[in-house]
Amino acid sequence: LGKNKVAAATASPQGILRDITLPWDDTAPAMQARLSANENPYGPSESVRKAVADAVGFGNRYGHEDAARLIDMIAEKEGVTRDYIMLGPGSTDLLEKTAISLFLKGGNIVSADPSYMSMMNTTRAIGGTWKPVPLTADYAHDLDAMAAAVDSETRLIYVCNPNNPLGSITSAAALKQFCSTVSAKVPVFIDEAYLEFLPDPAANTMVGLVAQGKDVIVARTFSKIHSMAGLRIGYIVAQPERIKSLNSIVRGTMGLCVTSLSGAIASMQDKAFQENSRKLNLECREYLCNELKTLGYPYIPSLTNFVIFPIKSDAQAFQGKLREGGVSVRMFEIDEKPWCRVSMGTMPEMELFTNVLKKITV
């Protein structure tokens, strides 16, 4: 991948990234460490659990009031008014809805390759096309090449920062400059699902550009640092006209569950939980990276809650051995070579992972 400038010439419309994980069996009882979906293993926090339990008692009503409260809290945190915010059952849902709103009549989406494929998959499924742009040799978005890829048919640019599945970041200063200029021509969608794992999230978010009136859409999720993946809640911050048009194709806050809304309200106030998750995540990542180094796996430096590294052997045999040891991971093929992406679990889970890894000889 380091030589992925080569991929620039050869990237197919399907891109160089493929998910080659064996069929999902994370619910199998033998799986002791679930390290395949970049979840946060420490929560939900006590305050979220209590709020969710309390909210069940109000489950006979729609969650409009909680949704309004949560939107106001998010608006205050992000420095905008409530008409800039839209909630969804997970940010994936908002990625998909945005794609549906823009690509039903065709057009293309420009994004990096490799990157998180949800939006590009939806785009292609409804008749749009994807223009993949290889990353730079140091795994950042190639912003000049992305700007150059925009044509009269481009309806959206998608940037995942930090980028999944690599864990790498693109410089905030460069990205701000890029968004400021290119958004005059075409909207830019910034997926910040892993932002809060960075040492300085405030310096890396693009949300300030939305407040400045730029046509930038920023997505965040409660699935990662808040440890609420199963509760399904996320949001976007975007220009009010975009929020209005998205709300016209979906049923506003009707699709949201009172338990998730109440949990998110509690979680936003629980700064200590987020801080602790960030700290534990860093400890586990440092431990894992040291082990990978000792074992001779050249991982990509990560600032997130996952690390990806190339493997030398057959991907399915490798994954099978991890599964036999009670560990699930995600396997990718990048440029036709196999890679393993492992999420940060608890320290005992990371120790289990490295112990099983040490025994793999396939």
Which positions from 296 to 335 touch ligand PMP by CB under 6 A, shown as an x/- string? ----------------------------------------
Which residues does 99 contact at the CB level (< 8 Å), separation at least 6? Answer: 109, 119, 122, 123, 126, 128, 156
Which residues does 42 contact at the CB level (< 8 Å), separation at least 6? Answer: 227, 273, 276, 277, 280, 346
* Residue 316 C-beta: closest distance to ligand PMP, Å: 22
* Residue 162 C-beta: closest distance to ligand PMP, Å: 8
* Residue 246 C-beta: closest distance to ligand PMP, Å: 16
Q: Which of 164, 239, 277, 305 binds ligand PMP (CB under 6 A)?
A: 164
As a whole number of angstroms, the distance between CA 21 and CA 316 comes to 8
As a whole number of angstroms, the distance between CA 79 and CA 74 comes to 8
Q: Which of 91, 161, 170, 239 binds ligand PMP (CB under 6 A)?
A: 91
- Dihedral angle of Cα 18, 22, 23, 24, to the nearest 10 degrees: -100
Q: Which of 66, 191, 270, 349 binds ligand PMP (CB under 6 A)?
A: 191
Long-range CB contact pairs, 73-76, < 8 A, 24+: 73/265, 73/268, 74/235, 74/237, 74/268
Where helices occur in 79-227 by DSSP H, the ranges are 91-103, 118-125, 143-149, 172-182, 201-204, 207-211
Query: Is the CB of residue 158 less than 8 Å from the CB of residue 110?
Result: yes
Phi-psi region of 167 (alpha: psi -120 to 50; beta: other; left: phi over 0): left
CB closest to ligand PMP, residue no: 90
Residue closer to ligand PMP by CB (options 178, 194) is: 194
Scanning residues 92 to 121, which ones bind ligand PMP (CB under 6 A)? Answer: 92, 116
Which positions from 228 to 267 touch ligand PMP by CB under 6 A, shown as an x/- string? -x----x---------------------------------
Residue closer to ligand PMP by CB (options 234, 325) is: 234
Query: Is the CB of residue 358 less than 8 Å from the CB of residue 295?
Result: yes
Q: Is 90 in the site for ligand PMP (CB under 6 A)?
A: yes
Return the range that interacts with ligand PMP (CB under 6 A); candidates 89-97, 242-250, 278-286, 334-342. 89-97
Residue closer to ligand PMP by CB (options 119, 209) is: 119
Scanning residues 121 to 160, which ones bind ligand PMP (CB under 6 A)? Answer: 160
Residues that bind ligand PMP (CB under 6 A): 38, 90-92, 116, 160, 164, 191, 193, 221, 223, 229, 234
